[in-house]
Chains A and B, each alone.
Chain A
Amino acid sequence: MNSRMLELMVGLFVAAGFAALFMMAMTVSNLTSYGTGDGYDIMARFDNIGGLKVRSPVAASGVRIGRVTAIEYDQERYEALVTMSIEPKYNKFSIDSSAAVLTSGLLGEQYVGLETGAEEDYLKNGGVIELTQSALVLEQIVGQFLYSKADEKTE
């Protein structure tokens, strides 16, 4: 095996390794949803965020428009404060937009759904959403159901 053939095969081997890595990154990873470095931040307060996590998606009409960047507990108002980063091209949410914690699919992960309101002014960086709907907590629903059944019985 002369040295030229050797070098050629080693070069092909290294190129094949990098090509495999590149192909994996392109076709089976979520590379395309990265790269939205900048975006404007808006905040929302919820009574209960359920299973929402940092980096959970933020969607409007089911289309992902941003991500949750921080979740904190506000001790002054005893509510959860969620900070979201929205892609800069989606900047037409009115200041009375509403946010709800929804579940994708039956047992899927939870996300924040945004719905625009009727005002003319739009949300900007640092804006706060006032109308929020908390996540459904299974125990509360079961409790409500049992109490309503008990009320029905006594009537």
Chain B
Amino acid sequence: MLLGSIEKLGRVTLSSVQRLGRGNIFLLQVLAGLSGMLRRPSLLIKQLYSVGVQTLIIIIVAGLFVGMVMGLQSYYALVDFGAEDSVSVMVVLSLLRELSPVVTALLFAGRAGSALTAEIGLMKATEQLSGMEMMAVNPVERVVAPRFLAGFISMPLLTAIFSAVGVMGAYLVAVELLGLDSGAFWSQAQAKVDLYDDLGNGMIKSLVFGFVVAWIAVFEGYDCIPTSEGLGQATTRTVVYSSLAILGLDFILTALMFGK
């Protein structure tokens, strides 16, 4: 009984490490397939549409509400100290540094990442990928690489849109609803927000998150068990692993970028 559990632990560890290795080799294959994919830009455009443009609506709505809530809560927290003019600083800094990259990445993993996994997994389950290999078409180059690049390109764009819409939402709440001075709103933010340290670091974070989420999504799809149950497990794994990776990497990146 005890021996059985220890055996199981060993098996699980070995299979996890093997999976990690397969994932890394797959990443190298995808990166190698990118050059061939650039000869067919229509594939990339189609994937950018389905991964990027169709995620836009949820990002805009989420950004608007996150910005509005941040504006309200910052006001309530700061008005006791007479510092309500700093609402814009608090909202913009938290949006640009942390909330935009992380929330955009989480929403992206949930909506676009799971869709990518399901698409590729279904192609594997219905043997379309092996069919392509038989016709001497590289499935990684034709199917996987465009999706990976589309995810990597969309993420920083979506993060920028989230930040912009969030700031607009905070402006709406602070100036229109709560009556703060609009000039003070923008000038306080301009004094305290640094272009490279805050906006730049947020964008770097979104690039890293885009890379990781796209990688996890396409790998889980490509490596799934080709049954309907396996597909469901793969989609769940994409969302869970992407979310954990995003939050873990966020801590590491924050410590690297914003520590002294």
Contacts and interface: CB of A to CB of B under 8 A. Distances in A.
A10 B52 contact: yes
Contacts of B42: 3
A66 B161 CA distance: 34
B48 A21 contact: no
Contacts of B53: 9-10, 12-13
A30 B157 contact: no
B194 A20 contact: no
A24 B167 contact: yes
Given A9-B49, A13-B53, A24-B167, A29 B195 contact: yes
A126 to B, nearest CB: 29
Contacts of B212: none
Interface residues of A, number: 24
Nearest to A32: B190
Contacts of A17: 156-158, 160-161
Contact of A16 (B88, B92, B157, B163): B157
B143 interface: no
A45 B186 CA distance: 36
A31 B190 CA distance: 8
A6 interface: yes
Interface in B180-223: 186, 189-195, 198-199, 203
A16 B186 contact: no
Given A30-B195, A32-B190, A24 B52 contact: no
B198 A29 contact: yes
Interface in B126-166: 153-154, 156-158, 160-161, 163-165
Interface of A: 1, 3, 6-7, 9-10, 12-14, 16-18, 20-21, 23-25, 27-32, 34
